[in-house]
Amino acid sequence: MNFDVIIIGAGPGGIYCAYELIRTAPQLKVALFEAGHPLAARHCPIDGVKVKTCVGCKTCSIMSGFGGAGAFSDGKYNITNDFGGTLYQYIGKQQALDLMRYVDEINLRHGGEGTKLYSTAGTQFKKRCIQNDLRLLDASVRHLGTDINYIVLQNLYAELQGKVSFFFDSPVESVEEIDDGFAVQSGETSYTCKNCVISVGRSGSRWMETVCHQLGIPTHSNRVDIGVRVELPAEVFSDLTDELYESKIVYRTSKYEDLVRTFCMNPRGAVVNENTNGIITVNGHSYEDPAKQTANTNFALLVAKHFSEPFRDSNGYGESIARLSNMLGGGVILQRFGDLIRGQRSTQKRIDESFVTPTLNATPGDLSLVLPKRILDGIIEMIYALDKIAPGTANDDTLLYGVEVKFYNMEVEVDENLTAGREGLYVIGDGSGITHSLSHASASGVYVARKIAGC
Ligand SMILES: Cc1cc2nc3c(=O)[nH]c(=O)nc-3n(C[C@H](O)[C@H](O)[C@H](O)COP(=O)(O)OP(=O)(O)OC[C@H]3O[C@@H](n4cnc5c(N)ncnc54)[C@H](O)[C@@H]3O)c2cc1C
């Protein structure tokens, strides 16, 4: 019951922390607590036939379990400080990039060899974007694909087994400060440790808030990104996706000067439901295996909403909008771009007659009843801007799924060691509010492991 290190959460942050600990300090007794199931037991009941929409499982297998929210993700590891988090503000730009490259090497050694690394360096699209009021962000991206990402996780688990004590289906209820470290309560049992690494991701954001409140750790929350997932024939974006795979493009709207950006691009991928604290939003992924690919490409268009004092509940604002779509559509709402522009709701008949076949079974409806006008105006403006570099984007049959919400966990106040107010208590990954991606979350895990190991 007594460990040198307890890690809470087996997402990328927790996994790479454990991996680096057993590599650099094998003498340490390390435990990993995870609210969800082991990787092999993670199954979402939605099969598209018998179960078509989210049934609200006790623990969501998409978001929880070994591999965290990243387990069935597209496995896009972006190596950049331009997006994906602000880890570099704490540990420096060079170190952040070095750690992301280190994680990439681990992935390659554990099943990812042979996967492609795309880069924006020297691309002609930079010029085309600038000429059309768009900005292409710099990045290298390793695309593992959902299938290879899963294999990498299987191999990492095999390597950690026997060296790390795993506790699955074991949500941690509380973390208390004791004389020589921390007491971690899960179920009936209290476990103690000298170092506690909290890496609970987005699904643990509510719990993280409670812990911060109980331990008096200051937090800040002022941002949420709201938008839609766009789905169109893969050919429309193929010039971009063939060369760059994922392109992060930013547009400043002429009407409000808001920033709208593309996010999580999935060439020949599928749109999926995402369940965050019981609210159904939309996301997407794609496979490396050509046999599993679809005829469509999907990506999110998000508008960043920053709030100032006295309003502090930016996630609550995003949740309310997502709830509205759930109320009207029983889940995610789907609308053709042409219907949106004409001010009419999409119907099943119009969707069936469309030239683009949706990859997610969502309720045809009217997104203008859900999204605030300012956000919707920004999305429409950007679709027309993208149409100039990828003609066909503003086609009537382009599908829009809503809503996609990118919740930013409140930012936990941590120092340059990623410790939160007391020695030995580390907060990493998306749960810290500092990272928002696989690569940054993983890098933060390696960073903290090295701090604990003293290297
Ligand atoms: C469908 C989908 C696709 C995505 N695609 C990409 C992509 O291609 N590229 C990219 O960079 N990012 C992607 N992301 C985001 C990425 O998955 C996250 O940024 C990343 O997983 C964050 O890692 P993490 O370890 O911080 O948190 P998570 O992966 O969320 O892991 C946290 C873990 O902590 C557990 N936990 C929570 N509370 C507790 C508790 N109290 N006790 C015990 N355990 C707890 C959870 O069950 C979870 O397993 C995607 C996300 C989704 C949902």
Residue range 136-156, pLDDT digits in tens? 999 999 999 889 999 999 999
Ligand 1 centroid to 8 CA: how many Å?
A: 12
Kindly indicate the confidence band of residue 121, based on its pLDDT and cuts at 50, 70 and 90. Answer: confident
User: Which residue would you say has higher pLDDT here, 309 or 77?
Assistant: 77
DSSP-derived secondary structure for 111-127: IITT-EEEE-TT-THHH
Is the model's pLDDT at 288 over the cut of 80?
Answer: no
The percent of residues above 90 in pLDDT, for the chain, comes to: 81
Helix/strand/coil for 58? coil
Is the model's pLDDT at 286 over the cut of 80?
Answer: yes
The percent of residues above 70 in pLDDT, for the chain, comes to: 100
* Protein residue closest via CA to atom 33 of ligand 1: 9
Is the model's pLDDT at 99 over the cut of 90?
Answer: yes
pLDDT at residue 239, as a whole number: 95
Least confident of 120-124, 224-228, 309-313, 407-411: 309-313
Is the model's pLDDT at 47 over the cut of 80?
Answer: no
The token pair that represents 439 in the structure block = 């690569």
Is the model's pLDDT at 59 over the cut of 90?
Answer: no
* Protein residue closest via CA to atom 7 of ligand 1: 76
Kindly indicate the confidence band of residue 451, based on its pLDDT and cuts at 50, 70 and 90. Answer: very high
The Cα 313–Cα 318 span in angstroms is 9
Is the model's pLDDT at 349 over the cut of 80?
Answer: yes
- Indicate which atom in ligand 1 lies nearest the CA of residue 284: 1
Ligand 1 centroid to 345 CA: how many Å?
A: 34
Distances (CA, A) of 181 to 10, 18, 177, 247: 21, 19, 6, 44
pLDDT at residue 310, as a whole number: 80
* pLDDT, tens digit, 9 for 90 and up, residues 316-326: 899 999 999 99
Contact by Cβ (8 Å): 381, 260: yes
Helix, strand, coil tally for the chain in percent (to 5): 35, 25, 40
pLDDT at residue 277, as a whole number: 72
Q: Which of 34, 200, 279, 297 to mutate to test the pocket of ligand 1 (most atoms within 8 A of CB)?
A: 200
* pLDDT, tens digit, 9 for 90 and up, residues 390-400: 999 999 999 99
- Indicate which atom in ligand 1 lies nearest the CA of residue 173: 41
pLDDT at residue 243, as a whole number: 92
Q: Assess whether the C-beta atom of 172 lies below 6 angstroms from ligand 1.
A: yes
Is the model's pLDDT at 369 over the cut of 80?
Answer: yes
Average confidence (pLDDT) over 55-63: 85
Q: Assess whether the C-beta atom of 201 lies below 6 angstroms from ligand 1.
A: yes
pLDDT at residue 146, as a whole number: 87
pLDDT at residue 49, as a whole number: 78
The token pair that represents 305 in the structure block = 């909403």
Average confidence (pLDDT) over 212-228: 91
- Indicate which atom in ligand 1 lies nearest the CA of residue 69: 29
Is the model's pLDDT at 222 over the cut of 80?
Answer: no
Average confidence (pLDDT) over 265-277: 89
Q: Assess whether the C-beta atom of 67 lies below 6 angstroms from ligand 1.
A: no
- Indicate which atom in ligand 1 lies nearest the CA of residue 266: 8
Distances (CA, A) of 314 to 153, 202, 304, 342: 33, 14, 11, 31
User: Which residue would you say has higher pLDDT here, 142 or 51?
Assistant: 142
Ligand 1 centroid to 202 CA: how many Å?
A: 6
pLDDT at residue 162, as a whole number: 95
- Indicate which atom in ligand 1 lies nearest the CA of residue 432: 26
Residues 6+ apart with CB under 8 A from 31: 3, 5, 6, 7, 164, 165, 166, 167, 191, 193
Ligand 1 centroid to 68 CA: how many Å?
A: 4
Give this prediction's pTM.
0.84
Residue 416: CB atoms within 10 Å: 10
Q: Assess whether the C-beta atom of 76 lies below 6 angstroms from ligand 1.
A: yes
Residue 278 CB-density burial (10 A; 0-12 exposed, 13-18 middle, 19+ buried): exposed
Q: Which of 80, 211, 264, 432 to mutate to test the pocket of ligand 1 (most atoms within 8 A of CB)?
A: 264
Q: What is the mean pLDDT of the chain?
A: 94
Average confidence (pLDDT) over 353-358: 96
Helix/strand/coil for 112? helix
Average confidence (pLDDT) over 154-183: 97
Strands (E), 253-381: 259-266, 270-276, 279-285, 296-306, 333-336, 363-364
Kindly indicate the confidence band of residue 403, based on its pLDDT and cuts at 50, 70 and 90. Answer: very high
* Protein residue closest via CA to atom 20 of ligand 1: 438
Contact by Cβ (8 Å): 161, 173: no
Residue whose C-alpha is closest to residue 144's, from 111, 120, 119: 111
Is the model's pLDDT at 312 over the cut of 80?
Answer: no
